[in-house]
């Protein structure tokens, strides 16, 4: 019965698109921002065989709708600027007004990406000073689906009238922009002085598997376990147990009433299908990703899942290896100590080409998983993008562990990204280092900076084997690199061992 309802829904959507005048996805609407310096896809629906002509700023393209009533053209390469009109002609004419060309970024993840400017630090001041008409945001309506959708789900309530449309940034709109995305985009705008478009596609509390296409998990033996066991993951946290309990009751009610079974927001693939698929193949520069809290109890699994998600999104978009910027989880005090392993999994994703990570180990809140300081998160994303995407040779990340040499009872650690030197923030001594011998018991260690190295030792360990730094949910750590005479960016948490952790057997 469920499959029948899905078929009827898809058939209705197809009929709605195929028959009648030319139609465009919701992304193609007034105030939109198109990606500069690349071929820009424009697509939609029309009568089978209908001729379609697309025009923007002196660029033209034409095609004929397929027998299924679909069409797609490419415009470009477009130079930054505007405003333009995007004109699409067939049996009818659609004119999209106030179109800009610049840089387009997708901002996705869970609640720390979903947090809005009005909820972040210094919100009143930030909102009152916001007048940037060349910055726009398109916030995608949160939608679950068993199959990839062609377009975003319709907005059917006045309370969510800000969704599924491009909004120009000013003090009346910026309050509900993604805070991380806004501060990232604002820094880019001030630097590049060209239009910035943010596509906000996030949902609080969500797992990475909900954002991953089903065939990606089906084709990987390790990830295939997710499809079998995902209901069990809702036992990790009390609030998830409560949410899943409500969902189970909704399913029972649906069965009794003979209606379509609802979908769960953390069900594998449902958010990729409902939120990400409708965006593809809209031309973008890259993705900023802030997610992982809800996968922390399965951090070893995340080592495979996040790279698979990145690679599948790129394949589906068809743009090649676009930049994927990951925000590492901030410090937060709770038990059990699983965040270090998730942060490690995030750092391992950097091995995927054109994937980079910002460290926020110093920007958290011990009492809240949602720290208010999103300005610095956005700024660090901006630094990373400047260096890795826009070709500016600047220091964009903190010290990262390179290698260890053991000499007697000392562990001598080498680092990359030291800037103008290693330094200590707000203290006379380094904090956050632990050392262990063969028994795998870790003790707080003394650590001193010697040039571009850190020397670590403990009176309790005569024969050290491993060192860990900032290896806690809420670590007290203070190793930074130097820019000028000041401390700059924090070192990333790391460990030199590969001993199994708390989440090693959690799949």
Instruction: Report the candidate in 327, 298, 332, 341 with the shortest Cα–Cα distance to residue 475.
Output: 332
The string of pLDDT tens digits covering residues 434-452 is 999 999 999 999 999 999 9
Question: Rounded to an integer, what distance in angstroms lies between the CA atom of residue 489 and that of residue 231?
Answer: 39
Q: What is the mean pLDDT of residues 400-419?
A: 97
Evaluate if residue 78 carries a pLDDT over 60: yes
Question: What is the mean pLDDT of the segment spanning 231-241?
Answer: 94
State how far the Cα of 392 lies from the Cα of 118, in Å rounded to an integer: 31
What pLDDT is recorded for position 20?
62
What is the percentage of the chain residues whose pLDDT exceeds 70?
Answer: 96
Give this prediction's pTM: 0.95
- Cα dihedral sign, 276-280-282-283: positive
What pLDDT score does 159 carry?
75
- Report whether pLDDT(16) > 60: no
> pLDDT averaged over the chain?
95
Q: What is the separation of C-alpha 302 from the centre of its chain, rounded to a whole number of angstroms?
A: 14
Res 4: pLDDT: 43
Least confident span in 91-100, 154-163, 301-310, 354-363: 154-163
Provide mean pLDDT across the span 489-493.
98
Domains of the chain: 100-397 (3.40.50.1110), 400-491 (no CATH)
Better-scored residue on pLDDT, 19 or 441: 441
CA distance 295 to 478: 27
- Asked if residue 171 has pLDDT above 80, the reply is yes
The sign of the dihedral angle between the CA atoms of 53, 54, 58, 60 is negative
Taking residues 477-485, what's their average pLDDT? 94
| Alpha carbons 28 and 47: distance in angstroms, whole number | 19
Structure-token match 């806004």, residue found: 182
pLDDT tier for residue 506 given thresholds of 50, 70 and 90: confident
Task: Give the pLDDT score at 501.
Answer: 97
Alpha-carbon span 255 to 214, nearest angstrom: 25
What was the pLDDT predicted at 144? Answer: 98
For residues 229 and 507, give the distance between their C-alpha atoms in angstroms, rounded to a whole number. Answer: 8
Q: Which residues pair with 71 in a beta bridge?
A: 44
pLDDT at 2 > cutoff 80: no
**Per the structure block, which two tokens stand in for 134?**
């060349």
Is pLDDT above 90 for 76? Answer: no
> Which of residues 14 and 97 earns the better pLDDT score?
97
């Amino acid at each position: 019965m469920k499959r029948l309802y899905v078929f009827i829904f898809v058939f209705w959507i197809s009929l709605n698109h195929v028959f009648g005048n030319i139609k465009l996805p919701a992304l193609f609407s007034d105030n939109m921002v198109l990606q500069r310096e690349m071929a820009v896809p424009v697509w939609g629906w029309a009568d089978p065989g209908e001729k379609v002509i697309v025009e923007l700023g002196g660029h033209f393209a034409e095609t004929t709708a397929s027998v299924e009533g679909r069409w797609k053209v490419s415009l470009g390469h477009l130079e930054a600027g505007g405003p333009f009109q995007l004109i699409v002609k067939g049996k009818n004419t659609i004119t999209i007004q106030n179109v800009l060309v610049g840089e387009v970024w997708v901002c996705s993840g869970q609640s720390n990406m979903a947090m809005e400017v009005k909820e972040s630090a210094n919100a009143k001041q930030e909102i009152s000073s916001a007048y940037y008409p060349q910055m726009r945001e398109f916030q995608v309506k949160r939608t679950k689906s068993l199959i990839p959708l062609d377009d975003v789900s319709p907005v059917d309530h006045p309370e969510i009238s800000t969704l599924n449309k491009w909004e120009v940034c000013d003090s009346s709109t910026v309050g509900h922009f993604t805070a991380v995305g806004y501060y990232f985009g604002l820094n880019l705008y001030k630097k590049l002085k060209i239009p910035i478009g943010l596509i906000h596609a996030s949902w609080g509390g969500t797992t990475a598997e909900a954002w991953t296409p089903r065939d990606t998990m089906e084709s990987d033996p390790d990830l295939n376990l997710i499809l079998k066991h995902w209901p069990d993951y809702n036992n990790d946290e009390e609030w998830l147990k409560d949410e899943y309990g409500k969902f189970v009751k909704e399913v029972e009610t649906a069965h009794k009433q003979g209606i379509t079974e609802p979908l769960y927001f953390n069900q594998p693939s449902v958010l990729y299908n409902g939120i990400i698929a409708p965006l593809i193949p809209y031309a973008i520069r890259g993705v900023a990703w802030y997610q992982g809290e809800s996968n922390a109890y399965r951090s070893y699994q995340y080592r495979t899942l996040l790279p698979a998600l990145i690679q599948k999104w790129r394949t589906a978009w068809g743009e090649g290896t676009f930049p994927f910027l990951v925000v590492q989880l901030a410090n937060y005090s709770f038990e059990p100590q699983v965040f270090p392993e998730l942060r490690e999994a995030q750092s391992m994703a950097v091995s995927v080409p054109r994937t980079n990570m910002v460290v926020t180990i110093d920007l958290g809140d011990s009492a809240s998983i949602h720290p208010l300081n999103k300005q610095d998160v956005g700024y660090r994303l901006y630094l990373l993008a400047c260096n890795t995407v826009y070709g500016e040779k600047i220091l964009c990340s903190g010290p990262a562990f390179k290698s260890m040499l053991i000499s007697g009872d000392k562990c001598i650690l080498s680092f990359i990204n030291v800037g103008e030197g290693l330094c200590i923030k707000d203290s006379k001594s380094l904090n956050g280092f632990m050392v262990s011998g063969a028994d795998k018991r870790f003790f707080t260690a003394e650590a001193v900076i010697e040039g571009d190295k850190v020397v670590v030792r403990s009176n309790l360990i005569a024969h050290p084997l491993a060192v860990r730094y900032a290896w806690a949910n809420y670590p007290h750590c203070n190793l930074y690199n130097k820019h000028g005479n000041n401390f700059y960016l924090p070192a990333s948490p790391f460990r030199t061992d590969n001993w199994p952790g708390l989440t090693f057997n959690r799949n």
